[in-house]
Amino acid sequence: MAMQNKIKPSAAPIGVFDSGVGGISVLKHIRELMPQENLIYVADSKHAPYGNQTPDFIQERSYQLAEFLLKRGVKALVIACNTATAAAAAGLRERYPDLPIIGMEPAVKPAVAATKTGVVGVLATSGTLKSAQFAALLEHYGQGVEVVTQACIGLVECVEKGELTSPSTLALLKKYLEPLLNANADTIVLGCTHYPFVRALIEGLVGNNVVLIDTGAAVAKHLKSRLQDNQLLSASDELGNVEFWSNNEAVDTEVVVSALWGAKVSVAPLI
């Protein structure tokens, strides 16, 4: 306990978790904006995608992952998953009222502001699209425009396997983008943190006239603001450490995580 007291709160790591590896897209934005921060990333890949799970199950998993990260002394928590945010953010904030907790939500508001055709497309998991949080977003920001939603079953699994450019991933995207493009959507929300990893494929399919929106950069900015408000920004001049944990039982987990992160990393087993 005495040794723990010597560690300044600002030097503590930021905890980030997702149902799998998708939240690494958010982690990269955090790293780019605050390179001096120490980061711990947890991928609950064994239970991905959360969109296929019940809200109660997602909430319980989120509580367990938060406990895991808090035991490692994190100073803030990022729920890098739209579905987990909808199911568990409120409960986590009740449990840990003094901990800065940053969640995700599909970027409906900026998409509505950006559309010129009056049609916004949303790609997300079924869990996100069925959530009360998403319904509230549509109620608040979706008035006066047509919002076309598409549940992308199987797409998270493609990213989890590192299949970012495979024929099967391309075929899925073609199928899921078709109804959005047929409806004349000119703005598409990437409503799952896994989807930015197939952004290049999506861009190739939709062309230059369609704007793609994801919330990773906005989440990183919000996190920095919260840390600043709480005087928790790292004062270090050195590049922070990054830890990766996963319960994915696949043998190529480190290969996939390294490819998504953009550098070779080791991944510790999450029990």
- Using one digit for the tens of pLDDT, what is the confidence trace for 201-233? 999 999 999 999 999 999 999 999 999 999 999
How far is it, in rounded angstroms, from Cα 223 to Cα 202?
28
Confidence category of residue 166, pLDDT binned at 50, 70, 90: very high
Output the average pLDDT for the chain. 95
Statement: residue 2 has pLDDT above 70: no
Return d(Cα 111, Cα 105) in angstroms, integer. 12
Q: Per CATH, which fold does 2-104+217-269 belong to?
A: Rossmann fold (3.40.50)
Share of the chain above pLDDT 90, in %: 93
7 pLDDT band, cuts 50/70/90, is low
Quote the pLDDT of residue 9. 86
Q: Is the dihedral of CA 241, 247, 248, 249 positive or negative?
A: positive
Residue bearing the bigger pLDDT, 69 or 251? 69
- pLDDT for residue 8: 78
The answer for residues whose C-beta is within 8 angstroms of residue 136's C-beta and 6 or more apart is none
Q: Find the catalytic residue in 26, 27, 81, 84.
A: 81
- pLDDT tens-digit series, residues 102-161: 999 999 999 999 999 999 999 999 999 999 999 999 999 999 999 999 999 999 999 999
Residues 22-33 have pLDDT tens digits of 999 999 999 999
DSSP single-letter state for residue 149: E
CATH of the domain spanning 108-214? 3.40.50.1860
pLDDT at 64 over 80: yes
Domains 2-104+217-269 and 108-214 in one fold: yes
For the chain, give every domain's residue range: 2-104+217-269, 108-214
pLDDT at 71: 97
| pLDDT higher than 80, residue 4 | no
pTM, 2 dp:
0.94
| Exposed/middle/buried for residue 107 (C-beta within 10 Å: 0-12, 13-18, 19+) | buried
158 is catalytic: no
Q: Using the 8-state DSSP alphabet, how is residue 41 labeled? A: E
Please give the Cα distance from 234 to 236 (Å, whole number). 5
Tell me the per-residue pLDDT of 81-116, one tens digit each, with 9 for 90 and over.
999 999 999 999 999 999 999 999 999 999 999 999
